[in-house]
Chains A and B, each alone.
Chain A
Amino acid sequence: MAETDQSPADRSPITDHRSRISYVSTTNACKLCKPLGACLVFRGIEGAIPYLHGSQGCATYMRRYIISHFREPMDIASSSLGEKQAVYGGGPSLKQGLRNVIAKYRPALIGVATTCLTETIGDDVPGILAEFREEAAGETLPALVRVSTPSYSGTHAEGFHAAVRAVAEQLGEAGEPTGAVNLFPGSVSPADLRHLKELLRDFGLDGVILPDLSETLDGPALQDYEELPRGGTPVARLRGMGRSRATLEFGRALPGTTAGAVLARRFGVPLRSLGLPVGLRESDRFFRALEELSGRATPREHALERGRLVDAYVDGHKVVSGVQAVVYGEEDLVVGLAAFLAEIGVRPVLCASGGRSGRLAGAVQAVTEGLLPEPPAVREGADFYELAEEAEALGPQLLVGNSKGYHLARRWQIPLVRVGFPIHDRFGGQRLLHLGYRGAQSLYDRIVNALLEVKQEGSAVGYGYL
């Protein structure tokens, strides 16, 4: 741990909490590359197939990575560019690839994301797609959405948000109001999405969710292999996003112009930006928004869930109170988890992400305000090497994040409560519930029990009765 370096002047006070060396290289990245996020978004559209314009390996690696978490088929098409195309341009391969994908998958939408290769050789994807449409004049083509996702800028989370924005920009249409509510939940689990859909339904709201992975990446056993998994939000509904009566968008650290902002500017759809509803207070804000949008009070079932959650907070407070935790992962999830942990009495001492939105520190400060004896250290653009170095000195008792923290948990002999993506050393990553009162309840029970298990295991007596 380097304590000697002066912190760079451009860091906010909360980031300056601890000084650090900045490394040139990355060791064990706390992020994935941009196109992966885009592929996830396209999977959440009905009948859509993600398509990577690049060399074959990118699609294969990302498929493999996503399959490990969701344990579901994840077909991603590729232009399979070779050396010749890298020199002369990938346009013909992109067009041929689209033809083949259309022939085999009969998709309703093809989501074309670029890679570092095609960005750098300068393929004009909008131009190539325009040519493709022209050449196919008279044929019925699937919707084509393109998004620029050079893997040398940003993270998979940014690729995710860029794809959501691209869909809003390229599909959203003006016209008769639909009365629907757009919901851009960010990168959450299929279980989270099912819960969000239930909430919208129970409040009588007609939601247009992008992406909706609730079925496409958590489907049933089947008689036949489906070319494209059932589920996802239909393209027609996405076209209607410009005619919705409001947009709800989760994320306090969203980069740049968001999909919600685009719809607000272009079609005047009012935007409500909220934090990811993790924990009691961030969920309260979400429920308040649902009440206002629907004009209904929170249904009794959900109010009861809130009540039980507070009751659980009280019952278990001694187990968690004062426990020091390190939280890492995608920025918005880190913000939500920090909010949740602070309110149950756990002290997040380090909040880290591979993302660099510049908003993480402020967002963490905002959601933990007044709950912590001192603000946590916040690290943007962190990798697991730096995270480990810094956390070592803080002596955490709990890790909260994805599977990538397992080796640290093992080294320090502390529990890792797995959340977010990727979870590939356990089953059920796709069924983890993080959001709303119910999600907070599930997280709370997992954390309390993880800490109790440590206590029990480390005890000479081994009490079996609390």
Chain B
Amino acid sequence: MILEARKDQVHRKGDEAFALACNKDSLAGAVSQRACVFCGSRVVLYPIADALHLVHGPVGCAAYTWDIRGALSSGPELHRLSFSTDLQEVDVIFGGEGKLEAALRELIDRHAPKAAFVYSTCIVGIIGDDLEAVCKRVEAEKGIPVIPVQSEGFKGNKRAGYNAACSAMMRLVGTGDTAGISPLSVNILGDFNLAGEIWIIRGYFERMGVEVVANVTGDGRVDDLRRAHGAALNVVQCSGSTMDLARMMQEKYGTPFLRVSYFGVEDMAESLYDVARFFADRDPGMLDRTRELVREELAVLYPKLQEYRKALTGKRAAIYVGGAFKAFSLVKAFRLLGMDVVMVGSQTGTAEDYRELYEITDEGTIIVDDANPLELAEFVREKDVDILVGGVKERPIAHKLGVGFCDHNHERKEALEGFVGMLNFADEAYRTVMSPVWRFVPRRAEASHG
């Protein structure tokens, strides 16, 4: 069932010494679950709510990304509109620069955005439109930053798109006034404010006495990004999406960064403690305030979790997500619920990511890089899982086989971060796994009738 050329991207823990090939281009014809460079850049920049996001290309790239994500804004909602130059044959033949320039003028006049991001798509890379030059002209004319995002779909995978997005954001960072920013301040990187999650995290930081300068990019604002270099620390969530920005800011402005995760009790608490420890010199009381915060939250959370745990202990979970970092937290979160993780994989994990997954998983666990529907279906069946965690593309695989599913991707509309998010996750896992419908699906019905 697994194509020969993919054999070294699947590992069963316990079989042999751990080695997993990753960071490879997807195999032609293997039906990868991966997207493209454009997708990566769009994911990262999309939630900047007061910027214009113009996709320079044929209509599809813009249409398929029109408001599909759950990234909420507390103010402007320009990000929820889908702008495209809708390139036509004549533009492909004669070049699309003129159209792009006219489109930018038209849209900037209409919406008065704080900045404009112009995404290049596959075809723009081929016809060779000079985005940089067009953006420069319009920027000079309109007086707002107009930033090209080099995200031609074929130039690598999603990870390259993250990099393009970070380079684009880096053009904004450092252009704003940093006066009045607290020495106890952070930028929140790699959170997209799905279902308002960043508001939960900001709330924790407020209680700790930490000022948040910029949300990158959930509920994001251009002006916040411009002064982000004034923050004392970058806290970076998500495997790779904004790690490049953190590195660039460290290099250029000396801003240190911490890797964090807001999923699950352990990782959430540890992330807050890390931040408190970072500021310990400047604010010795912060660690105590943070401990108090965690205690308060857990006092609410734990009794309820115990109920879920009672029902879910021994149930089996499989995880297939975009970035591997999220998978670490999910493994721990399932453990907290008493569940066994029997398969874990990602679209874009690195060698270090998979090594870490190998360390924290149980014997027999399947670890997989860049899987496809047939493989995932096989693993789900082989391990007889009760719930698969993934994105929309993974959902029908689970449901067709009569297996529960939890959407843990950018499109979900339920908050899963923070302590309250753990409760939501537990509740969803419970309602999914314990639903009576599974007893009617062929897989179970036939098993129970022998």
Contact B64–A61 (Cβ < 8 Å): yes
In chain A, positions 375-407 with a C-beta closer than 8 Å to chain B are 385, 404
Interface size (B, Cβ < 8 Å)?
A: 78
* Minimum C-beta distance from B156 to chain A (A): 7
Q: Confirm or deny: A86 has a beta carbon within 8 angstroms of a beta carbon on chain B.
A: yes
User: Chain A interface: which of B35-43, B133-141, B225-233?
Assistant: B35-43
Does B404 sit within 8 A of A, measured CB to CB? no
Cross-chain contact B38 with A223 (CB below 8 angstroms): no
Interface size counted on chain A using CB atoms at 8 A:
74
Q: Kindly list chain A residues whose C-beta atoms are within 8 Å of the C-beta of B29.
A: 51, 77-80, 96-101, 104
Contact with A along B196-217 (1 / 0, CB 8 A): 0000000000000000000000
What's the minimum C-beta distance from A31 to chain B, rounded to whole angstroms? 6
Among A27, A59, A67, A96, the residue within 8 A (CB) of B31 is A59
Given A54, A56, A100, A153, which contacts B157 in the complex, CB threshold below 8 Å?
A56
Contact with A along B149-161 (1 / 0, CB 8 A): 0000111110000
Using A24-B102, A33-B60, A221-B402 as known contacts, say yes or no to A80 and B28 having CB atoms under 8 A apart.
yes
Question: Inside 8 A of A65's CB, which chain B residues have their CB?
Answer: 64
CA A151 to CA B84, docked complex, whole Å? 13
- Are B397 and A225 closer than 8 Å at their CB atoms? yes
Q: Which of A57, A60, A222 has the most CB of B within 10 A?
A: A57
Q: Contacts A56-B157, A116-B58, A151-B58 known; A71 to B31 CB distance under 8 Å?
A: no
B377 CB, nearest partner CB in chain A, Å: 3
Set of chain A residues within 8 Å of B25, measured between Cβ atoms: 80, 82
- Residues on B with C-beta less than 8 A from A27 are 81-84, 107
Q: Determine whether A121 belongs to the interface, using a CB cutoff of 8 Å to chain B.
A: yes
A residues less than 8 Å from B37 (CB atoms): 57
B156 adjacent to A83 (CB under 8 Å): yes
The 0/1 profile, CB within 8 Å of B marked 1, for residues 211-227 of chain A is 00000000101111101
Chain A residues positioned under 8 Å from B82 (CB to CB): 27-29
Task: Decide: A225 and B373 in contact? CB cutoff 8 A.
Answer: yes
| A116 CB contact (under 8 Å) in B34, B102, B107, B123 | B123
Task: Known A27-B83, A51-B29, A75-B373; judge A57-B155 contact (CB<8 A).
Answer: no
B2-13 Cβ-contact flags toward A at 8 Å (1 or 0): 010100000000
B residues near A62, Cβ cutoff 8 Å: 60, 64
Most buried by A among B31, B37, B91, B380: B31
Of the residues B58, B66, B85, contact of A25 by C-beta under 8 Å: B85
Q: Contact partner of B30 among A33, A34, A63, A80, CB < 8 A?
A: A80
Mark B residues whose CB is within 8 Å of A: 1, 3, 5, 25-39, 54, 57-66, 81-89, 91-92, 99, 102-103, 106-107, 121-123, 125-127, 153-157, 372-374, 377-378, 380-381, 391-393, 395-397, 399-402, 440-443, 446
The 5 closest A-B pairs by CB, nearest first: A57-B36, A33-B60, A97-B29, A100-B29, A225-B377
Residues in A lying within 8 Å of B, measured CB to CB: 23-29, 31-36, 51, 54-65, 67-68, 71-83, 85-86, 93-94, 96-101, 103-105, 115-117, 120-121, 150-153, 155, 219, 221-225, 227, 354, 385, 404
A-B residue pairs in contact (CB < 8 Å), sample of 26: A25-B85, A26-B85, A29-B62, A29-B84, A33-B58, A56-B153, A57-B37, A61-B60, A62-B60, A67-B396, A75-B31, A78-B29, A83-B154, A86-B125, A101-B31, A116-B123, A117-B122, A117-B123, A117-B126, A117-B154, A150-B58, A219-B400, A221-B399, A221-B442, A225-B378, A404-B66
